[in-house]
Each structure stands twice: as structure tokens, then as C-alpha cells.
Amino acid sequence: MCLAVPGQVVALENRGAVVLGTVDFDGTRREVCFASIPDIRVGEYVIVHVGFALARVDEASARETLAMFRDLDLLDAELGADPVAAAPGRGSVR
């Protein structure tokens, strides 16, 4: 299953013509491409599908959706293990 998952933007970086950044999905962080939302700001919430931010969402909607995914045991299945936390000698990036 491939869900579009909401998360909060915690870091941004311009790489040439592309804006990339880190999004926190309820404690799991992933690198995301913001090509479709180049004016995104740290702290905003977005919906992400297969590594691409699709749209901004409000914080309440994002938190409600994350809680629903968590309650249905879909969040861990969709995001998998946090690659940073799973690296040898590394802790969680929360």
C-alpha cells in the first residue's frame, strides 16, 4: 500500500534548481523533494507520497491523519524503520 502521509518540514536545502528537505512523520524523518512546493517553509506541514511533497496541509489535519494511521497500524508499515535511528552507533533523530 502506498499512502500519502502528512509530516512537518524540519529542514530545507536548495540543491541547484530543486528544493529538498527533511520531513518529520511522527518521529520518523525522511528526505523529501519540494519541486511542486518550492516556496515551502520550515514548520509547515505537507502531504508526502513516494518522497515528493504534494501539498500543504494544516497542522490539525496532519496530526489527526497521523493519529488515525497510527491507530490503524499503518504508519510503521508505510514508513518502515527510520534509517538514521537504525544506523550503527546512531540514536533517534527526534
- Strands (E) across 16-65 are located at 18-25, 28-33, 45-49, 52-57
Other Cβ atoms less than 10 A from the Cβ of 32: the count is 25
Assigned domain for 94 exists = no
Give the pLDDT confidence of 15-32 residue by residue, as tens digits: 888 899 999 998 889 999
Helices and strands per DSSP (H, E), number in the chain = 3, 5
Beta-bridge partner residues of 25: 28
pTM of the model: 0.78
Assigned domain for 91 exists = no
Sign of CA dihedral 3, 32, 56, 37: negative
Give the pLDDT confidence of 27-77 residue by residue, as tens digits: 889 999 999 999 999 999 999 999 999 999 999 999 999 899 888 888 776
Residue range of the domain that includes 9: 5-82
* CATH at 30: 2.30.30.140
Assigned domain for 50 exists = yes
Give the number of domains in the chain: 1
Other Cβ atoms less than 10 A from the Cβ of 11: the count is 13
